[in-house]
Structure 1
């Protein structure tokens, strides 16, 4: 009688008995470990393919596929190939938790990478940390770094709101005035972005005139915008995402608000700018973890972009796509370094990893496994475009610096 492993070598029970000892070989738990270490390296990938963030999620899938292809083409892990198992979490925490549990229990994934919402990633993290499965989140969240939600199995490739809003604020506040109104998506992403701006603004004496909140998936901001105009702020900071951002910027433009105030966003989305066109985004300043145009100055960006173009008919990767690439690639490369997919071997390899895969130097801070990285400050452009993908100017780069992160102590990590 033999037990076979898909895409891996056939392993006889007699051989297991001879190499591991009879007592161990007959244990189903031990046999499952051997199977897991011999078969394909499965990477679970739950993202919101349906819903308002679908365009961003689809690009995340493409970029993750690039990371898997590169790993496999360079030999995998001692010949073991990686597989990407994509699941639709529907931008719903309960759905995401269910998909994560299925990936772990039914599909026997070694790692999980994904999410595109603060609350969804926390739901996935609750599942993975309870089952001691490595999870690399590729969506912004401050909470996932805090001791209450963090675990040693939790890594965070994405920027977090404190880093992102802080970088944009430090660039903008000295230039555009002190009176600020926030238009904020009423969930963790929006709340944490506002907090990040206000923390950064203390050094510049900014005054918050109002924080006006709207539900996720809003389609009409026309009742809110006149209120904002009446307050006469120097800056309007729109802290939302995906289609919400596109609609809010289009309507703010239609209301003529750019003539009387500077409009900022913590994150300007490449996919959103492409979808909405130049007029809505014209002159808006924001931050990003990645813009393909940095390839002129960063060699790893050029290599990543070229591979992405080759694999996907000349397309360039988006900002959130690049996070998926980094999130998958760091886990696979750390597994290769460790010579194993065992999380107890991969975790120290990840903690020691100094990498430059697509945007310049990065590393994971040990206390909270946050990726320390640059933030690019960008402005949307409407003329002098070299091609249809040339949609942003990079105004400045805030280089990687732990001083721009919340301290380990503030996050609740001690010792």
Structure 2
């Protein structure tokens, strides 16, 4: 666990150290693209943290990715070729993710990689894939992966990014003059969400009254709560993920925080809301890429939900789970348009792709390959307002897909 925490906290340094530990060294970045023998199967690598504190979200991503593959195979595959999903446990560790990705490329001869569920871990996967000229579709939030230091022509980012997410949430939750305190996980995800909220806060005219960083995987937040209460904010932004979100919100409620301030999170997680029930989460506001309730107004969401229910005993897909479906589906649509998995043709097809597979229109911006898509702002319902066990959230706002909400290409260090 110590190595995992260091990898998550250190970001770029740890993943590059992981490369060196694998014996890749400086020569890795100069490696030629991998040649593959022709066969009938298109292989997609899927590293994700099946074990660890993000395992619930990771397993949902696998279920949704498997569904996307099944639906395509049921229709005859891609250009007449069946598709195979090769899932590997990256254990939420940058070095492990790099190792598994190298194996997928060199041993399993995958044609592309999709996955990873952490800012630092996805950057480690991206470093391996771009060095080998293998297409990678990331399905976890990150601002860094779109920036010039980490971006490559083989890199596509299907997930929302912290800039998009925090801007949408802040626009609905912050007001001019509001006092905001922050509790953020001390690794890349927490830092990027904190940066995004503070940028949005400044534009709105809200005021930061303090920020506290907590270690990844913290079980006890009791030492932080008196300090946060003493800041007397109007809003408490809790910027963490997975079990950390559930633990932090539950303990904040136990300390009476909700009696004195509103709780806001960058990403309101379906699984964590289920884990601790409606009472602790009641009234908490946050962002999301997907909510199954979109089926009431978006036909592709209804089709996705129905297929997922049929394959998973009536269960509905979750927010982060949906990334597995949209990421794989977009890739396979591009491969179909390209007539197969040849990398250069698929890259060109993805850059021009307009797709609607689960949540309305999406496309990839050409300069940084960020998926342009809607951003949802949700509020957790109280028990009395829930129609059924899956009726968790109210959609307060759905920001439509627009490049206007992204950082400019010039700010990312990329040509327009």
Indicate conservation of the 8 Å contact 1:136/1:327, yes or no. yes
Whole-angstrom CA distance in 1 between matches of 2:33 and 2:134:
17
Q: Could you say which residue in structure 1 is the equivalent of 2:125?
A: 124
Compare CA radii of gyration and give the structure with the larger one.
Answer: 1
Q: Secondary structure at the match of 2:81?
A: coil
Is 1:255 the counterpart of 2:262 in the alignment? no
Per-residue CA shift, 1:86-137, capped at 9, x if unaligned? 0000000000000000000000001100011000000000000000001000
CA distance in 2, matches of 1:30, 1:252: 50
Residues in 2 aligned to 1:31 and 1:158: alpha-carbon distance in whole angstroms = 27
Partner of 2:292 in structure 1? 292
Is the 1:184–1:238 contact (alpha carbons within 8 Å) kept by the matching residues of 2?
yes
Q: What does residue 100 of structure 2 align with?
A: 99
Where structure 1 has 5 or more consecutive residues not aligned to the other structure, the ranges are: 1-28
Is the Cα contact below 8 Å between 1:114 and 1:136 reproduced in 2? yes
In structure 1, what is the Cα distance between the partners aligned to 2:385 and 2:235?
26
Q: Which residue of 2 aligns with 1:146?
A: 147
Structure 2 partner of 1:112: 113
Question: Contact between 1:372 and 1:401, CA under 8 Å: does it hold in 2?
Answer: yes
Whole-Å Cα distance in 2 between the matches of residues 402 and 154 of structure 1?
A: 18
CA distance in 2: counterparts of 1:131 and 1:138, whole angstroms: 20
Distance 1:261 1:226 in 2: 13
Tell me the TM-score normalized by structure 1: 0.91
Tell me the CA shift for residue 414 of structure 1.
Answer: 2.1
The yes-or-no answer on 1:281 pairing with 2:277 is no
Determine the structure 2 residue equivalent to 1:210: 210
Residue 222 of structure 1 deviates from its aligned partner by 0.3
Q: CA deviation at 1:400?
A: 1.1
1:238 aligned counterpart, secondary structure? strand
Following TM superposition, by how much is the alpha carbon of 1:207 offset from its aligned partner in structure 2, in angstroms?
Answer: 1.2
- Give, in whole Å, the separation in 2 of the partners of 1:114 and 1:32: 22
Q: Give the whole-Å Cα distance in 2 for the aligned partners of 1:279 and 1:99.
A: 40
Give the TM-score, by structure 2 length.
0.90
2:370 alignment counterpart:
370
Matched positions, count: 384
1:175-324 aligned at under 5 Å gives the runs 178-324=178-324
Q: In the alignment, which residue of structure 2 is the partner of 1:21?
A: none
Please state whether the residue corresponding to 1:272 is helix, strand or coil. helix
Could you give the per-residue CA deviations for residues 309-355 of structure 1, whole angstroms, max 9, x where no partner exists?
A: 00010011110110111111111110010002011010010000001
Which consecutive unaligned segments of at least 5 residues does structure 2 have? 1-31
CA separation of 1:31 and 1:222: change in aligned 2, threshold 3 A: closer
Q: Which runs of 4+ in 1 moved over 2 A?
A: 29-33
**Aligned partners of 1:41, 1:276: CA distance in 2, in Å?**
40
SS of 1:325's partner is helix
Distance 1:119 1:96 in 2: 10
Partner of 2:77: 76
8 A Cα contact 1:178 1:204, kept in partner: no
* Whole-angstrom CA distance in 2 between matches of 1:54 and 1:64: 15
1:39 is displaced (CA, Å) by: 2.2
